[in-house]
């Protein structure tokens, strides 16, 4: 019984301090390239690679696109292959 | 024995006859050095993303072959000397894909 009372009081204090607490809903995005139905990363698949390139031709960082560390490594090597074969631009002014 | 993927860009000025000659020459070089051709793809005339040797277009061709490193060495030696080859890239692949890639020309367009 003592425990139950303790819980109730704790909840009330939480509601008072809502501003300083973590939000109830987590804004967590999963990696779009890993998982079951994920597309295969290949230098021939230009449409997919163009999603991860800025307008000026630079690669986008993974903190913006939320690609996992291992898949970001694959992406960067495939983009570099496509650039050598002139399928993607090095720069786009 | 490794499996290699090789793509090269040939210049825009070539006749269809000269195009065939270079492509057959590439295949003979591979077969001379105990290589075996697994798959050939023709990507046709494509726009380049940036000009190479002042050309804006080029003929792409893609070959999968299995063989040793000497075949790759001899191939790249020939392509470095030939002026009509603008770019080339070879690298190891684990498997030969069964389906054609998206860039490959359909039979209707040929």
Q: How many angstroms separate the CA atoms of B53 and A63, rounded?
A: 37
The beta-carbon neighbor of B89 closest among A81, A89, A90 is: A81
Maximum Cα–Cα distance across chain A: 72
Query: Quick one: which of A64, A57, A62 has its CA closest to A79?
Result: A57
Mean pLDDT of chain B: 88
- The C-alpha of A60 sits at a distance from chain B's nearest C-alpha, in angstroms, of 19
pLDDT-based confidence at A39, cuts 50/70/90? confident
- Is the pLDDT confidence value at A73 over 90? yes
CA distances from A2 to A6, A8, A13, A64, B104 (A): 6, 10, 17, 47, 73
The enclosing H or E element of A6 equals helix A2-16
ipTM: 0.84
- The C-alpha of A22 sits at a distance from chain B's nearest C-alpha, in angstroms, of 46
State which residue of chain A sits closest to B57, comparing Cα positions.
A86
Higher-pLDDT residue of B55 and A2 is B55
Per-residue confidence (pLDDT) for residue A6, from 0 to 100: 56
Instruction: Name the phi and psi angles at A84, rounded to 5.
Output: -65, -40
What sign does the CA torsion over B94, A79, B26, B58 have?
positive
Task: Report yes or no: A81 at the B interface, CB cutoff 8 Å.
Answer: yes
Predicted structure pTM score: 0.78
- The C-alpha of A87 sits at a distance from chain B's nearest C-alpha, in angstroms, of 6
Q: How many angstroms separate the CA atoms of A74 and A85, rounded?
A: 17
* pLDDT tens-place string over residues A40-55: 888 888 889 998 999 9
Average confidence (pLDDT) over B20-36? 90
Class of domain B2-109: alpha beta
* pLDDT tens-place string over residues B61-100: 999 999 998 999 999 999 999 899 999 999 999 988 888 7
Q: How many angstroms separate the CA atoms of B45 and B60, rounded?
A: 7
* pLDDT tens-place string over residues A20-31: 666 677 666 788
């Amino acid at each position: 019984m003592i425990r139950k009372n303790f819980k109730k009081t704790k909840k009330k204090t939480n509601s008072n301090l809502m501003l300083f607490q973590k939000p109830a809903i987590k804004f967590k995005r999963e990696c779009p390239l890993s998982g079951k139905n994920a597309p295969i990363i290949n230098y021939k698949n230009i449409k997919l690679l163009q999603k991860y390139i800025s307008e000026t031709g630079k690669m986008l960082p993974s903190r913006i696109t939320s690609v996992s560390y291992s898949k970001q490594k694959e992406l960067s090597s495939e983009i570099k292959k496509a650039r050598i074969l002139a399928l993607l631009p090095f720069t786009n002014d | 024995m490794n499996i290699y993927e090789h793509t090269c860009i040939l210049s825009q000025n070539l006749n269809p006859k000269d195009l065939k000659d270079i492509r057959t020459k590439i295949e003979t070089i591979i077969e001379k050095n105990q290589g075996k051709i697994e798959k050939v793809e023709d990507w046709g005339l494509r726009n380049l993303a940036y000009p190479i040797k002042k050309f804006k277009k080029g003929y792409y061709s893609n070959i999968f072959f299995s063989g040793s490193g000497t075949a790759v060495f001899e191939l790249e030696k020939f392509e470095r000397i030939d002026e009509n080859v603008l770019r080339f890239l070879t690298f190891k692949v684990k498997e030969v894909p069964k389906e054609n890639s998206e860039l490959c020309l359909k039979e209707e367009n040929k």
